[in-house]
Structures are given as structure tokens and as C-alpha cells.
């Protein structure tokens, strides 16, 4: 689908197709639909990012709370969104050794206790070793810095999900 096809979508179609570019936050997609037509996929992404940036800190943390634990019970029970399932599988989250799985569960729990939201990282841009390392390192951050880092990761995830849905347009000559 190119950007002209995106712009031709009805509100319901748009929200149905793009409703999970920000994990379990279709209200963001619904809100940015009002800004269409979009000049490009980058313009659509910018609208989503601007919406997120305008939220109060509690809203940003709400977005972070919509994310599942990496290699958590949702992965093993099949309760992840299709996008999260694919992203976690690609990063090797379903193939952790028993020791890695135990470490991941322990670090995820410590992270949520410390910050009040799950650890968010763009799984598609990382592998299981890097994710475990980042989780351990980011536990040392201050809450505000970690919230900002989590939102930056949400934006990376959103960009990749948008790119998977919308083909880049060839430059016009």
C-alpha cells in the first residue's frame, strides 16, 4: 500500500490497519487520522511522534505499560499481538535457555518494580544477548531517563511497523 492508498482509507479501516503501530494503543492512531491526508509515511510517523510527545508523563508511561514483558507469560501463552509475537521470535525470545529465561524473568520483575512499567526495547533491532544486556544496564537509570528511553524505543518499534505496512514511494521525477 502506498501513501495515497493510506489517505484513501476510511477512519475505521485506518484504525484497523494501523491501530497497533504503537502497541495496544489504537487511540493514538484514531487521533492522528484527523491529520490526514499525509504527504508521506514520514509525515504519518511524525504525526504519531508529535501526539506521543504532547502527552503528559502519565500518558507516556501508560503507553509503556501497554507493552508485554519480553519472553514473558504472554509469549508462552500465545497472548501477544501478532506484531509482538513476530518481533520477539525474530529476536530469539522464544529460544532462551533455562538460565536465560530465569534471568530475563528476574530482571523484568526488578525493572517493573523499580520503574512501574515494563522494559521496552525494539526487539527487531536486537538479539536476545543484547536485550538481556540492555535490560541489566537500564536498571541503573533514573526513572525519568528510563521513561524517555522507553518512549524512544516505542518510536523505533512504530517506525518499523509503519514501514512494514506502507511501501516507500519511489521518488517522482
**Looking at the structure, do residues 83 and 155 belong to the same domain, yes or no?**
yes
**Looking at the structure, do residues 82 and 101 belong to the same domain, yes or no?**
yes
Cβ neighbors of 95 (< 8 A, separation 6 or more) are 128
**Looking at the structure, do residues 87 and 34 belong to the same domain, yes or no?**
no
pLDDT tens digit sequence for 81-98: 999 999 999 999 999 999
The reply to whether 172 falls in a domain is no
pLDDT tens digit sequence for 16-51: 999 999 999 999 999 999 999 999 999 999 999 999
Dist CA 91 CA 129 (whole Å): 9
- pLDDT of 173 > 50? The answer is no
Residue 168: pLDDT band (50, 70, 90) is low
Give me the percent of the chain exceeding a pLDDT of 70.
Answer: 97
pLDDT tens digit sequence for 45-75: 999 999 999 999 999 999 999 999 999 988 8
The reply to whether 57 falls in a domain is yes
Dist CA 129 CA 5 (whole Å): 39
**Looking at the structure, do residues 74 and 23 belong to the same domain, yes or no?**
no
**pLDDT for position 108:** 97
Active site residues per annotation: 67
**pLDDT for position 172:** 46
Boundary residue ending a domain (62, 89, 112): 62
The reply to whether 123 falls in a domain is yes
| Helix spans in 21-127 (H) | 26-33, 41-54, 57-65, 73-77, 82-90, 98-115
**Looking at the structure, do residues 99 and 119 belong to the same domain, yes or no?**
yes
The reply to whether 173 falls in a domain is no
**Looking at the structure, do residues 124 and 74 belong to the same domain, yes or no?**
yes
**Looking at the structure, do residues 156 and 96 belong to the same domain, yes or no?**
yes
Look up the CATH number of the domain holding residue 142.
Answer: 1.10.3330.10
Question: Which residue's entry shows cell 524505543?
Answer: 153
Specify the number of domains making up the chain. Answer: 2
**Looking at the structure, do residues 156 and 75 belong to the same domain, yes or no?**
yes
**pLDDT for position 170:** 42
**Looking at the structure, do residues 100 and 80 belong to the same domain, yes or no?**
yes
Range of 34's domain? 3-62
**Looking at the structure, do residues 53 and 32 belong to the same domain, yes or no?**
yes
**Residue 104 burial (CB count, 10 A):** 21
Boundary residue ending a domain (41, 62, 83): 62
Boundary residue ending a domain (32, 62, 92): 62
- pLDDT of 1 > 70? The answer is yes
**Looking at the structure, do residues 21 and 83 belong to the same domain, yes or no?**
no
The reply to whether 88 falls in a domain is yes
pLDDT tens digit sequence for 107-162: 999 999 999 999 999 999 999 999 999 999 999 999 999 999 999 999 999 999 99
Amino acid at each position: 500500500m502506498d501513501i495515497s492508498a493510506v489517505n484513501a482509507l476510511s477512519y475505521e479501516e485506518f484504525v484497523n490497519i494501523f491501530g497497533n503501530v504503537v502497541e495496544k494503543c489504537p487511540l493514538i492512531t484514531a487521533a492522528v487520522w484527523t491529520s490526514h491526508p499525509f504527504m508521506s509515511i514520514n509525515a504519518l510517523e511524525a504525526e504519531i511522534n508529535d501526539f506521543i510527545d504532547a502527552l503528559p508523563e502519565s500518558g507516556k508511561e501508560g503507553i509503556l505499560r501497554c507493552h508485554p514483558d519480553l519472553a514473558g507469560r504472554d509469549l508462552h501463552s500465545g497472548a501477544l499481538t501478532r506484531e509482538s509475537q513476530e518481533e520477539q521470535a525474530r529476536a530469539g525470545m522464544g529460544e532462551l535457555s533455562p538460565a536465560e529465561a530465569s534471568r530475563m524473568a528476574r530482571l523484568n520483575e526488578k525493572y517493573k518494580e523499580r520503574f512501574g512499567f515494563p522494559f521496552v526495547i525494539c526487539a527487531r533491532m536486537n538479539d536476545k544477548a543484547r536485550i538481556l544486556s540492555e535490560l541489566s544496564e537500564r536498571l541503573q537509570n533514573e526513572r525519568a531517563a528510563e521513561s524517555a528511553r522507553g518512549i524512544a524505543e516505542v518510536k523505533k518499534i512504530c517506525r518499523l511497523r509503519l514501514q512494514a505496512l506502507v511501501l516507500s514511494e519511489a521518488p517522482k521525477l
